[in-house]
Structure 1
Amino acid sequence: MISHKNDKPFVCSYCDSKFRRKEHLKGHMFTHTGEKPFTCVECGSKFSRRENLKVHAHSHTGDKPFQCSQCGLRFRYRASLNRHLVTHSGDKPYKCNACPSAFTRMQSLKKHLLSHTNEKPWSCSFCDAKFKDKNGLGRHLLIHTGLKKYQCPQCEAKFQQGSQLKRHMTTHTGHKLFECPVCKAKFTRNGSLKKHLQSHGSTKVI
């Protein structure tokens, strides 16, 4: 029996963290040694804690054990559920010190703060271009890599960006997304609209 005077008798020799049970200390030690004894049988990924392996396993099974009590939506990870819950509460605890803006997530606040500082921490490894966020860098990198991961389900066409695929799909669906601001004529392609505008004496798309 563990005495109440010393309810965490197992002490880490690296950082002095204390634990109630020996197996908890053993699991903690892996964070210092770098050892990852828990291996995913599906993909070979390794983890230092059994709990992390269990969470990872959901990515293979499709299980979503965490359910929102408000709307019934289910999530693979507890962290995802916690982020979702703020959509019901309306709480925005992360406030900007430079303006009245407030956010539900710390990551959103960090991204917003760049609009005040003009800082661009994401740098391209191929050229000198810099970006405020990871998404901007990702879109830019396609220029260098030539990767086209968005494929049309109707034909063999491939595109670098989802927006390009969306525009291409209009050639199959017949949807006309581009409207002339002068006569309201509609076109499936932006280039066709620009050509049409010349008949009005303009090449500017509003």
Structure 2
Amino acid sequence: SQCDKAFKHNHHLADHMMIHTGERPYLCSQCGKAFTHNKYFIGHMRVHNGELPHQCNQCDKAFSYSQTLARHMRIHTGERSYQCQYCEKNFSLKCNLTSHMKIHTGENAYQCSKCNKNFLKNTDLKRHMRLHLGDRPYPCSECDKAFLQKCDLVSHKKIHTGERPHQCSQCDKAFKLTHHLTQHMKIHGERPYQCNQCDKAFLQNRYLISHMRIH
């Protein structure tokens, strides 16, 4: 009823519905983070118990080995060490180079001329192009907003019905509860923990503490 997705089993539907409700029943008692699924919670707890001691100071990811963290940091630093042998484009991760190479091998024959993303089917490319063209075929009858996909319109309509009265001012997401909106707003750049030695700022105090070790 929230979007167009369908599932064979009820428990898969129940898991999926947490995306729409904002429910995060698995709460970490050490840092206050909450998760939709137990497997994500278990993975997160490995940061606290030392199984994933190498944590990125730019985001929430953590790793078992320092070399894995170093490879991950390329995303943040912009380092691009993987070059395509056909067109000399550079990529920060090997998997991105592998995906790009499919253009040359013919596996992903449809490339966006605006951002160079690759697609297996022409229909996928056409759907993607709506982002660049501003084509939003699903308008809301209650306000002047319009959407790329029907499921986004269905979700948006809940703002008007009162099912999700708390709307984000930065994007189209809306939430049932105020604290879910507050938590979501951090994605848009709220970084309250500022380093007094440099201009970096962080979402959580523990990231600031980790960063301060550099100084």
What TM-score does the superposition give when structure 2 sets the normalisation length?
0.30
Higher relative contact order (CA 8 A, sep 6+): 2
* Greater C-alpha Rg: 1
Calculate the TM-score normalised by the size of structure 1: 0.31
